[in-house]
Amino acid sequence: MLLINDANILIDFDCCGLLEGLFQIPDELAVPDILFDEELKARHPELPGLGLRVMGLSGTAIDEAVRRA
């Protein structure tokens, strides 16, 4: 299963020392590329190396996510 994450989830796991353990789950973790670039990249550049998938999202995909929220 692909799990799309918010930056806060990843930051909270890091603050608790559980970030590496998070990437041991069998599911794939991902964030939108703009979220990674604006919120995570400066302080957590190691995340893609741990297994975080940074995904580009089209305007249509963003509209769909907003519609379903």
Q: Could you give the CA distance from residue 69 to residue 52 in angstroms, rounded to a whole number?
A: 23
The parent domain of residue 45 ranges over 2-68
pTM: 0.80
Give tens-digit pLDDT for 14-69: 999 999 999 999 999 999 998 999 999 999 999 999 999 999 978 787 777 778 76
Q: Give the number of domains in the chain.
A: 1
**Pick from 56, 66, 52, 64: which is nearest to 19 by CA?**
52
